[in-house]
Amino acid sequence: MNFRLMNHRFSFGLALAGLLCLPFSTFAESINVATKQLTLNFKVGEDHRLYQQPIGLEQSNWKPGRDDESYPQSGDGYVWEPALQVVHADGNTSTALVFDAATRSNKTADIEEIRFHLHDAAYPFEVTLCFRAHQNEDVIEEWTEIAHRESGPVTLARMASSSLLLENNVYLTHFFGDWAKEMLAPITEQITPGAKTLDSKIGVRASQFQNPSFFLSVGGKASENEGRVLAGSLAWSGSFQLAFDDNGKSVRALCGINPFESSYRLAPGKTFTTPIMIWVWSSHGLGEMSRKFHHWARDFGMRDGHKTRSVLLNNWEATGFDFDFNRIAALFGPAKEIGSELFLLDDGWFGNAYPRTNDAAGLGDWQPNRQRLPQGLAPLAAAAVQQGLRFGIWMEPEMVNPNSDLFHQHPDWVIRQPKRPLELQRNQLVLDLTRPAVQEFEWKTIQNILSVPDITYAKWDCNRYLTQPGSPYLAADRQSELWIDYVQALYALMDKTAKTFPDTELMLCSGGGGRADYGALKYFQEFWPSDNTDPTMRVLMQWDYSYFFPSMALASHVTHWGNRPMHFACSVAMSARFGMDLDLTKMSAEDKAICAGAIGAYKKIRDITCLGDLYRLEDPHGNDRGAINFVSPDQARAVVFAFQLRDGPNAYVRPQGLAPSKRYTIHELNPAPGRPQIAQEGKTFAGEELMRDGILPSCSKALEASVIELSE
Ligand code: GLA
């Protein structure tokens, strides 16, 4: 269905004076964007501007004023943080948008798209506020489109994707971090008058310090099962800004591309489309919010969201840069033996004049190293396949080491500032993706690598961020466009890769978790949450990531980080996408048996952990134990994970989400060697009983874990 709330439609051809003369009564009074539990109420004011009732504020308490403008513009009366700041072709720095029309269309029974058309009555300049409302999931995707037909380019100085208003009793939970400390330490704070800004200015990836995902608890702090909560995640892999502007009456959440140094010239006749802001609402706490987010993500946020994942063995922690054909091929047999299904060859396989034997050389020269792999990648991939494993490969197509043929041939292909010494991070530089020749080079590189027969998986890495944002390709007056053009060119490359190699699974990685965002994830099956694989840290990280991402998207590998017991490490990895990064040729028989047991168990439950619903039971932050459970979509099976971080009492874990009247039989999977069987092993209980009385896991001492399957 597609209908208009007005019987005319703004067009640049219309006489502006005529438009302004329309009687106010022809404007719609209120317009809603609604899902099952969330309604955004908009109203067109007597001044023809569009207003939004703050989320959480009762209709009867709402007295719309200029502060409540839905997408405020700077320069004409609005004095807080604006959503839009424009310099028009004639130099005017003000914009004044009036409402023109709303169009609605049903994409499916569940999805409605609503577009609010606004225009500036003094300029041929229009803005469309776009909402895609997913009814059942309570997800609203929001973005903005900007277009004009002025006499010359218009400069967009800021253009938020979303600028939602909320009542002013709001708590923000956000996630500050760094390399190896991603999503470890949630910070919850009440928004108070003034602006709280979370942003990143690092260009080629969303996060290193701040994270583009957060949640807001409305009207008081939310818990797992109670409270009104709005999760937000900006789908953008570059510099972002999330500003929470409290004017004493309401809080405005301005989310979008970081305006920092990013002004963008928009030519007449072109449309600028902002990244999508994803909002997820729950009236019943954080658990429900996450489950809805996960449902949306499986359908729209990632590739293959309804397929389970293979068990992966990676060689990075095992060999680092030190390997050759034989060393790698020797891992295939033991990998297959313990149940792996996929082998991932990491960094170090390429470069000849500048061999990639450490991180200071070779990036950019994507030819297999002739000493290490004399016949190239194909025979190695074939050897893996012969052993019954799929084969995957690491690549970092956007980067170059100064020690490379590529850099010597094309020193002007890198992002750098004129007259400044090159600033290296991990000895490398970023190639300038705004340059068509670089786009071509990176595409050829990816195409060559992924066309090697038997390669069906790849890890796409990005190990530095921008610190000298200058493009030798872009004209002097377009330098600020580098930030946006880079990310758009990157998405074009990722899109082409996903479409050209539909059967090749892709892992998104950026020096750990720098690209854990839905802008890039839609081209990938999963992402690498952190280089920190210490399972005691991963329990916390995976808990926090799970607010926003389904666990099937989180690559979780068993390694020796932290030297934790193998059983504990395996149990933690089993609660996300299980993999290993271990030298199987050097492992004790006992540890190997634990791994083999974990893989066998993971294969039994991965349909539940990948495709089922997650319930966070016991928060591991600051506590002795963390616990979660997953429930299959038909509620016939469930799996409970308990992770003991410090010594504690052997307490019952109470699962959630079971069918109260169904009866479930309890079975501990891959129990730790030497620990007694759990008391309820093999016994059958009603879901209601289990949720009320709980299950006693086999763990109570630090670094013990228990994985318990419940089957109807
Ligand atoms: C990054 C990744 C690691 C590994 C190395 C290889 O740090 O996060 O997993 O791939 O690069 O150089």
pLDDT in tens, 310-323: 999 999 988 999 99
8 A C-beta contact, residue 696 and residue 690: no
Distance CA 662, CA 688 (A): 8
Asked if residue 463 has its Cβ within 6 Å of ligand 1, the reply is yes
User: What is the tens place of the pLDDT at every residue in 279-293?
Assistant: 999 999 999 999 999
396 CA from centroid of ligand 1 (Å):
10
- Give the contacts of 524 (CB within 8 A, at least 6 positions apart): 302, 303, 460, 494, 498, 506, 507, 508
Residues in the chain: 712
Distance CA 112, CA 603 (A): 38
pLDDT at 29: 65
Q: pLDDT band at 20, cuts 50/70/90?
A: very low
8 A C-beta contact, residue 444 and residue 451: no
Phi, psi (rounded to 5 degrees) for 593:
-65, -40
- Residue 584: burial class (beta carbons within 10 Å; 0-12, 13-18, 19+): buried
Asked if residue 347 has its Cβ within 6 Å of ligand 1, the reply is yes
- What residue owns the CA closest to ligand 1's atom 7? 511
pLDDT at 317: 86
Q: Which helix (H) or strand (E) holds 443?
A: helix 436-450
Asked if residue 346 has its Cβ within 6 Å of ligand 1, the reply is yes
Q: Which of 182, 313, 322, 346 should be mutated for ligand 1, with most atoms under 8 A from CB?
A: 346
Phi, psi (rounded to 5 degrees) for 491:
-65, -35
Indicate which atom in ligand 1 lies nearest the CA of residue 459: 10
Distance CA 252, CA 70 (A): 9
How much is the average pLDDT of 159-169? 97
SS3 of 545-585: the string is HCCCCCHHHEEEEECCHHHCCHHHHHHHHHCCEEEECCCHH
Q: pLDDT band at 163, cuts 50/70/90?
A: very high
Query: What tokens does 563 get?
Result: 């030297």
CB atoms within 10 A of CB 712: 16
How much is the average pLDDT of 90-103? 97
Q: Give the DSSP per-residue string, 84-141.
A: EEEE-TTS-----EEEEEEEEEESSSSEEEEEEEEEETTTTEEEEEEEEEETTTTEEE
Q: Identify the bridge partners of residue 30 per DSSP, sorted by sequence position.
A: 43
* Closest among 632, 631, 677, 626 to 655, alpha carbons compared: 631
This model's pTM is above 0.85: yes
- Residue 260: burial class (beta carbons within 10 Å; 0-12, 13-18, 19+): middle
* Closest among 516, 512, 536 to 524, alpha carbons compared: 516
CB atoms within 10 A of CB 451: 11
317 CA from centroid of ligand 1 (Å):
9
Asked if residue 511 has its Cβ within 6 Å of ligand 1, the reply is yes
Alpha helices in 393-435 (DSSP H): 405-409
pLDDT at 8: 35
8 A C-beta contact, residue 288 and residue 38: no
User: What is the tens place of the pLDDT at every residue in 131-162?
Assistant: 999 999 999 999 999 999 999 999 999 999 99
At CA 195, angle to CA 216 and CA 205, rounded to 5? 70
Residue type, 685: F
- Percent of the chain, pLDDT > 90? 95
What secondary structure letter does DSSP report for 209? Answer: S
Distance CA 680, CA 248 (A): 55
At CA 655, angle to CA 649 and CA 659, rounded to 5? 155
pLDDT at 309: 97
Instruction: Classify 236 as helix, strand or coil.
Output: coil
Rg (CA), the chain: 27
Is a pLDDT exceeding 90 seen at residue 30?
no
Is a pLDDT exceeding 90 seen at residue 277?
yes
Is a pLDDT exceeding 50 seen at residue 561?
yes
461 CA from centroid of ligand 1 (Å):
7
Is a pLDDT exceeding 50 seen at residue 633?
yes
Distance CA 571, CA 23 (A): 67
Catalytic residue among 120, 432, 461, 534: 461
Is a pLDDT exceeding 70 seen at residue 483?
yes
pLDDT at 281: 98
Instruction: Classify 460 as helix, strand or coil.
Output: strand
Is a pLDDT exceeding 80 seen at residue 4?
no
The distance of Cα 307 from the centroid of its chain, to the nearest Å, equals 19
- What residue owns the CA closest to ligand 1's atom 12? 347
**Quick check: is 245 catalytic?**
no
Tell me how far CA of residue 701 lies from CA of 354, 573, 617, 694, in angstroms: 50, 19, 19, 19
Is a pLDDT exceeding 80 seen at residue 617?
yes
Q: Which of 205, 509, 556 should be mutated for ligand 1, with most atoms under 8 A from CB?
A: 509
509 CA from centroid of ligand 1 (Å):
8
SS3 of 253-291: the string is EEEEECCCCCCEEECCCCEEECCEEEEEEECEHHHHHHH
- What residue owns the CA closest to ligand 1's atom 11? 511
Asked if residue 394 has its Cβ within 6 Å of ligand 1, the reply is yes
Is a pLDDT exceeding 60 seen at residue 409?
yes
Q: pLDDT band at 669, cuts 50/70/90?
A: very high
The distance of Cα 662 from the centroid of its chain, to the nearest Å, equals 35
CB atoms within 10 A of CB 467: 16
**Quick check: is 110 catalytic?**
no
CB atoms within 10 A of CB 341: 16
pLDDT at 492: 98
Q: pLDDT band at 204, cuts 50/70/90?
A: very high
What secondary structure letter does DSSP report for 522? Answer: T
What secondary structure letter does DSSP report for 301? Answer: I
Q: For the packed helices 482-500 and 436-450, what is the interaxial angle rounded to 10 degrees? A: 30
Asked if residue 396 has its Cβ within 6 Å of ligand 1, the reply is no
Alpha helices in 589-680 (DSSP H): 589-611
Instruction: Classify 371 as helix, strand or coil.
Output: coil
Distance CA 388, CA 382 (A): 10
- Give the contacts of 499 (CB within 8 A, at least 6 positions apart): none
Asked if residue 531 has its Cβ within 6 Å of ligand 1, the reply is yes
What secondary structure letter does DSSP report for 687? Answer: H
Tell me how far CA of residue 688 lies from CA of 135, 521, 636, 660, in angstroms: 29, 37, 14, 4
Phi, psi (rounded to 5 degrees) for 416:
-165, 165
Query: What tokens does 82 get?
Result: 């604006």
Is a pLDDT exceeding 80 seen at residue 27?
no
User: What is the tens place of the pLDDT at every residue in 502-539?
Assistant: 999 999 999 999 999 999 999 999 999 999 999 999 99
Is a pLDDT exceeding 50 seen at residue 16?
no
What secondary structure letter does DSSP report for 25? Answer: G
* Closest among 522, 633, 543, 539 to 286, alpha carbons compared: 543
Distance CA 423, CA 425 (A): 7
Mean pLDDT, the chain, rounded, equals 95
Catalytic residue among 76, 299, 405, 531: 531
* Closest among 458, 369, 356 to 399, alpha carbons compared: 356
Query: What tokens does 553 get?
Result: 């998207």
Is a pLDDT exceeding 60 seen at residue 3?
no
User: What is the tens place of the pLDDT at every residue in 413-465?
Assistant: 999 999 999 999 999 999 999 999 999 999 999 999 999 999 999 999 999 99
pLDDT at 673: 94
Q: Burial letters for 403-419: b for 16+ Cβ neighbours within 10 Å, e otherwise?
A: bbbbbeebeebbbbeee
Q: Which of 347, 457, 530, 532 should be mutated for ligand 1, with most atoms under 8 A from CB?
A: 347
User: What is the tens place of the pLDDT at every residue in 36-89?
Assistant: 999 999 999 999 999 999 999 999 889 889 999 999 999 999 999 999 999 999
